[in-house]
């Protein structure tokens, strides 16, 4: 059950990265804040692979791996932009909840594209945990604007599509253990994303590029946390269907509520606590099915 530990580590790191990245949006814009996680994450991932390379034989990257990685990279760029737009329109906890509808669409996409198993028990666990997310958000949904709801759900669906791309790339690698394959695909993905974002910023958003340089300290933190989180996401994807990883990752909503309470001074009510309990029950059910 290495994937369980990897997913929990990734969820904690991602909560910290989201909090750091959310603060950048107002200062350098949505596109600039989106680019930070890739541009500043790449050096950390590349350095780790460089340190490891003298001791292992690196996997060969072919066109199939590149195609899957490009799908995941592109979908993740779009998902991150939608995520930051949602965070501007709603509280941190609500935005996280909206995006965490991802496992439902991910399970369906995974079954169609990668022929991953999809049974009633697994769907039930995913559905229960997702219902918990909706309750844990603490939102009065009649007062939530439609635009943040749409951008949040779109972010979740795109994050799901990116997970499918990354898992496809990991499965397409012909050799290497799960850690080496995860790190190799991570470096490839971040390189693609950094190239796209730098080109876009240079051509269309020079102020954001200058803003990134000015905010390099917090950007460095967000990049490091992003690369660390992504590595452990990829380890999970290498070992089990992506929907299992993303459903277990719904515990991030609990972490997000903690962050909301401490950093953004948002209270936690009874309905939110009930939602967190459903998340835990759904995750426990999933682990029992996956065992």
Mean pLDDT for 237-265 is 74
Rounded to whole angstroms, how far apart are CA atoms 19 and 76? 17
**How many domains would you assign to the chain?**
1
Question: Lowest-pLDDT range, 145-149, 168-172, 175-179, 206-210?
Answer: 145-149
Residue with tokens 């990991």: 170
State residue 58's pLDDT score. Answer: 87
Residue 271, both tokens: 């309905």
Q: Which of 168, 163, 170, 199 is nearest to 184 (CA)?
A: 170
Give the model's confidence band at 257: pLDDT under 50 very low, under 70 low, under 90 confident, else very high.
low
Give the model's confidence band at 109: pLDDT under 50 very low, under 70 low, under 90 confident, else very high.
confident
Higher pLDDT, 116 or 140: 116
State residue 102's pLDDT score. Answer: 77
Give the model's confidence band at 236: pLDDT under 50 very low, under 70 low, under 90 confident, else very high.
very high
State residue 42's pLDDT score. Answer: 95
Host domain of residue 271: 2-290
Kindly report each contact of residues 110-115 with a partner whose C-beta sits within 8 Å and lies 24 or more positions away, as own/partner: 110/164, 110/167, 110/241, 110/242, 110/243, 113/164, 113/168, 114/164, 114/167, 114/168, 114/171, 114/241
């Amino acid at each position: 059950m290495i994937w369980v530990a990897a997913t929990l580590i990734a969820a904690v790191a991602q909560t910290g990265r989201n909090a750091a990245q959310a603060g950048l949006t107002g200062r350098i814009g949505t596109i600039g804040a989106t680019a930070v996680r890739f541009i500043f994450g790449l050096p950390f991932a590349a350095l780790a692979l460089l340190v490891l390379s003298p001791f292992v034989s690196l996997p060969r990257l072919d066109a199939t791996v590149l195609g899957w990685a490009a799908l995941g990279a592109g979908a993740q760029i779009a998902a991150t932009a939608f995520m930051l737009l949602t965070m501007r329109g709603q509280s941190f906890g609500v935005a996280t909840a909206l995006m965490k509808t991802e496992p439902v669409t991910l399970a369906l996409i995974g079954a169609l594209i990668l022929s991953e198993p999809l049974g009633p028990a697994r769907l039930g666990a995913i559905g229960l945990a997702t219902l918990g997310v909706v309750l844990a958000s603490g939102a009065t949904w009649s007062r939530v604007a439609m635009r943040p709801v749409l951008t949040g759900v779109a972010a979740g669906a795109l994050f799901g599509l990116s997970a499918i791309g990354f898992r496809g790339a990991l499965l397409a690698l012909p050799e290497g253990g799960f850690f080496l394959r995860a790190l190799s695909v991570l470096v490839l993905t971040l390189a693609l994303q950094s190239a796209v974002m730098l080109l876009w910023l240079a051509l269309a958003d020079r102020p954001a590029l200058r803003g990134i340089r000015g905010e390099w300290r917090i950007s460095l933190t967000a990049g490091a946390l992003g690369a660390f989180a992504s590595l452990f996401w990829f380890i999970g994807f290498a070992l089990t269907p992506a929907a299992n990883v993303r459903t277990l990752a719904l515990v991030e909503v609990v972490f997000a509520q903690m962050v909301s309470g401490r950093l953004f001074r948002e209270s936690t009510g009874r309905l939110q606590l009930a939602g967190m309990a459903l998340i835990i029950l759904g995750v426990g059910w999933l682990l029992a099915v996956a065992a």
